[in-house]
Amino acid sequence: MFALNLPQYAIKVTKRNDRDYIFDDLRNKYVALTPEEWVRQHFVHFLTEHKGYPTGLIANEIQVHLNGTSKRCDSVVYDHNMHPRVIIEYKAPHVEITQKVFDQIMRYNMVLHVDYLIVSNGLRHFCCKMDYQNHSCQFLQDIPTYNEL
């Protein structure tokens, strides 16, 4: 599909009714293969295989309720007590990461109040650590390992 700035892995893709589907290990099912899903599956693999994130503590398509509307976080990482620690927002590789994308993930964080926000289009990745005392966030040079969260 697209070459990404993420490690390769053994991708499982199938075709049904002239549509491509990719296997989502977290949801344990095939899901429609869109450019955004291609990024999600590669990024989750990167987190689990290269950054030590336990697969049982990452969930995809997590619903949050904000101002009377339902929204879906692309992925949420939890701690061992099942408290949300990281929200991840994925975009297709051709989508530029702009302030609008960060505004979107910040709205989700109004509900979940996590420590880290990650945005990726598969080519560029941004991670910021929230500082609630100073009402700010610090952009990090790298995605932290799970043990560094």
* The pLDDT of residue 38: 98
Please determine, for residue 1, whether its predicted confidence score (pLDDT) is greater than 90: no
**CA 125, chain centre distance (Å):** 10
d(CA 45, CA 68): 33
d(CA 26, CA 62): 12
* The pLDDT of residue 67: 87
* The pLDDT of residue 20: 97
Segment 106-122 mean pLDDT: 97
- The string of pLDDT tens digits covering residues 27-76 is 999 999 999 999 999 999 999 999 999 999 999 999 999 889 999 999 99
Domains present along the chain, CATH in parentheses: 53-148 (3.90.1570.30)
